[in-house]
Amino acid sequence: MTEKITNIAKNTSYFTLALVLQKIISFTYFILIARAIGPADLGKYYFAISFTSIFGIFIDIGQSSVLTREVAKHPDYTGRLFSSVFLMKLPLALLSMLAVFSLINFSSYPEITRQLVYLSMFCMALDSFTLTFFAVSRGFHNLKYESISSVVFQLIVFIVVLIVLKFNLGLTWLMMSLVLASLYNFIFSFYILKNNWGLKINWRPDKALIKSILLISLPFAVYAIFQRLYMYLDSVMLSLLAGDRQVGIYQIPFKLIFALQFLPLAFIASLFPAMSSYWQNNRKQLAITFERAMNYLIIISLPVSVGGAILADKIIIIFKSGYSDAILPLQITMAAVIFMFLNFPVGSLLNACDRQKRNTVNMGAVLAASVILNLILIPRLEAVGASLTALLTNFLMFVLGMWIVPQITKYDYKKIIIILSKSLLAVAVMGAVGYYLKNQINLILTVMLSGVSYFVALYIFKGFKKEDIISVYKSFSKNKI
């Protein structure tokens, strides 16, 4: 058991550190790209990525998740499991690439957009197989190589982007940065698969095993499809209904929120195994763990949300004046941060406590609402409409999840409301400080001083104690199960 705990702790550390570094590097080169090419070309670039990302899920319809789980359960059958998944994905990859190629060529998009889609299509296929290769490593409880590779991937993109922007090589070479990074990731992950785990591809299909994997994959596939469509369909709909420039405008809040997700993701990485264990062995501790998770993420999300909304006009200046239309979408999207962060512990609780099907139903309902709202709001409000949809659908996901939580655990909602009230008081103090300082000093100092004022006020209002700080530190330093 001690070895298992140590292994999980190491994996959590690798994952958390890699996640933080990835987000920092990727957001840095996103700023450079946005400043250099302007909203319209940024819209073309991210339309291509969003369009192909949707089709990427049809290559991996849950098989990698199943592969990780089954390798962990039956390591002696790893070779058969891997070969079966690989052989399943080959025709799916070809069909998905054919679908992307056909649809973009039947569209009225200009030649440059088509070229970007073709290149992104290769990234889509390579990344899907990389996911499968690393799924084997995950099955062996090893995240070290995947974590290292994910950071190197971002560094390759960053370096190539710098070269492309320096010599003004154009959009096609910007997309080539992703192709080169994806190719590296593919080769490295295959090398680890072959040399560390000693696996080879058996080209004779095991029809019975393939059928079994397909059946097991179905619940994973449905949720993954819903989630991928929810994440990327808004950018595609913006492109179709409002044009490339609005896609570029929308990418500012979208990428900023995406970068901030490392905060709840790093926390949940250590929380999920504990919830799974408590569901089996200690229901009282499960309730306490959920309450603490909600409290901590309320404390984190409120200043991020309110601070981001207040400082939106200053944040946008980083991207140059051409993105001034992104101020309101950013403010609206920052309001969604609260629900976005809180959806992580709610969703983790449902998954840890055998409510995966309900999570899938919720995701399907949210996707349907997103499509309907975008069809109504984007033609009228463009990027602002897409941001409003993000806010409303994240709130809907939160409500649907919280509706189920009392059926799982008898948590004390009053404790959460008390922390929420104290956090709101503290964030009001922070908001006043930030609003006053933003026109007096630079953005970095404003953020730092506003953050200090928030936590000082929260401490005065008894929103947290020294013991809470120690508890949060321990949740990252080791994983108790």
Provide the token pair at 458: 């929260």
Residue 464 pLDDT class (50, 70, 90 cuts): confident
pLDDT at 479: 46
Residue 1 pLDDT class (50, 70, 90 cuts): very low
pLDDT tens digits, one per residue of 314-337: 999 999 879 999 999 999 999 999
DSSP assignment, residue 198?
-
Which amino acid is present at 52? T
- Is residue 354's pLDDT more than 90? no
Are 475 and 267 spatial neighbours (Cβ–Cβ below 8 Å)?
yes
Mean pLDDT of all residues belonging to the chain: 91
- Distance between CA 277 and CA 155 in Å, rounded? 37
pLDDT at 476: 52
- Is residue 466's pLDDT more than 90? no
Annotate 424-442 with DSSP letters as a single string.
HHHHHHHHHHHHHHTTTS-
pLDDT tens digits, one per residue of 238-293: 999 999 999 999 999 999 998 898 888 877 766 777 787 788 888 899 999 899 89
| HEC-encoded secondary structure of 313-366 | HHHHHCCCHHHHHHHHHHHHHHHHHHHHHHHHHHHHHHHHCCCHHHHHHHHHHH
pLDDT tens digits, one per residue of 355-379: 888 999 999 999 999 999 999 999 9
Straight-line distance from the first to the last Cα atom of the chain, in angstroms, rounded to the nearest whole number: 9
Are 43 and 328 spatial neighbours (Cβ–Cβ below 8 Å)?
no
For residue 196, give Cα distances in angstroms to 64, 84, 142, 247.
18, 20, 11, 42
Predicted TM-score (pTM) of the model is 0.91
What is the rounded average pLDDT of the residues 221-229?
A: 91
How large a percentage of the chain has pLDDT more than 90?
Answer: 75
Spell out the residues 6+ positions from residue 372 whose beta carbon is closer than 8 angstroms to its own. none
Helix (H) / strand (E) containing 322: none
3-state DSSP call for residue 465?
coil
